[in-house]
């Protein structure tokens, strides 16, 4: 019953309040008819285009009574943001650390995302196949994960210094909690403090985000240079070499 003038804009609010960590699918259908109740004279026949037949309502005489606009909506349930995980390493050193992340409210199912596969992908050169569920359940839970950065500058700084690999996942059927165990490699070349977000998505539905803080502390002293004086008001010279790590 909404009347629209020519070229008038109609805003349709959509409210999403998920009750479970899964994918919700629905459609918003807009049905437009002429205000005077008349039909459009174009006749829809059996030979008409399939998309046309699906997007119109036809009167008894074969004329078009209404036009439909159909908008599919996919709702992705997202868990509240978790506590930050701090990864700390001294500059010019290499840290390999195991991190356990808890995914609460996982619901096993066969509904997969359109682009979901059998591999867990991270935005580095390393990737690994997701392991099977370790509790012997027949439900196959697959996860996709990705490191997200606040800016391209942070991405350029951390992309070659951070590596992540999913080693193991354990599913507790009673509490519906999945524990993901990641191996995190951090090899900073200079002191820094940057943030990233690990986004984990279950193919059965649900999105979890874990803030990560990568901290590189001051490196160890390379060497101590001792300069011995040869006398008052006389210069003492010591030479040493510096090698650049980059061009």
Residue 61, pLDDT score: 81
Please report, for the chain, the start and end positions of each structural domain, with discontinuous segments joined by +. Answer: 23-76, 85-108+141-217
Q: What percent of the chain has pLDDT over 70?
A: 85
**Tell me: the pLDDT tens digits for 155-188?**
998 999 999 999 999 888 788 889 999 999 999 9
pLDDT of residue 108: 67
* Cα distances (angstroms) measured from residue 186 to each of 80, 149, 157, 220, 222: 26, 16, 12, 17, 21
| C-alpha to C-alpha distances, 141 to 95, 106, 223, nearest whole angstrom | 29, 9, 52
Backbone angles phi, psi at 188, to 5 degrees: -75, 150
Give the model's confidence band at 109: pLDDT under 50 very low, under 70 low, under 90 confident, else very high. low
pTM: predicted TM-score of the whole model, two decimal places: 0.68
pLDDT tens, residue by residue, 116-153? 333 333 333 333 333 333 333 434 678 899 999 999 99
6 CA to centre of own chain: 41
- Radius of gyration for the alpha carbons in the chain, expressed in angstroms and rounded: 30
What one-character-per-residue DSSP string does 150-176 give? SSHHHHHHHTTTEEEEEEEEEEETTTT
DSSP for 65-107 reads EEEEEEEEEEEE-BPPP---EEEEEETT--EEEEEEEEEETB-
Looking at domain 85-108+141-217, its CATH class is mainly beta
């Amino acid at each position: 019953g909404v009347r629209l003038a020519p070229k008038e804009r109609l805003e349709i609010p959509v409210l999403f309040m998920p009750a479970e960590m899964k994918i919700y699918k629905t459609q918003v259908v807009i049905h437009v008819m002429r205000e005077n109740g008349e039909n459009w004279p174009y006749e829809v026949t059996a030979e008409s285009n399939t998309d046309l037949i699906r997007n119109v309502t036809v009167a008894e005489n074969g004329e078009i009574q209404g036009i439909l606009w159909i908008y599919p909506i996919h709702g992705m349930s997202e868990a509240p943001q978790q506590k930050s995980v701090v990864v700390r390493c001294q500059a010019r050193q290499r840290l390999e650390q195991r991190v356990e992340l808890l995914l609460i409210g996982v619901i096993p199912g066969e509904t997969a995302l359109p682009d979901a596969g059998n591999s867990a992908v991270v935005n580095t050169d390393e990737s690994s196949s997701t392991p099977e569920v370790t509790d012997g359940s027949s439900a196959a839970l697959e996860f996709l994960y990705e490191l997200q950065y606040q800016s391209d500058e942070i991405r350029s700084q951390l992309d070659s210094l951070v590596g992540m690999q999913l080693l193991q996942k354990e599913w507790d059927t009673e509490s519906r909690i999945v524990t993901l165990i990641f191996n995190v490699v951090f090899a900073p070349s200079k002191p820094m403090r940057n943030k990233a977000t690990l986004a984990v998505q279950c193919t059965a539905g649900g999105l979890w985000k874990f803030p990560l803080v990568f901290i590189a502390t001051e490196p160890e002293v390379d060497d101590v240079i001792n300069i011995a004086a040869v006398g008052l008001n006389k210069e003492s010279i010591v030479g040493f070499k510096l090698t650049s790590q980059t061009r």
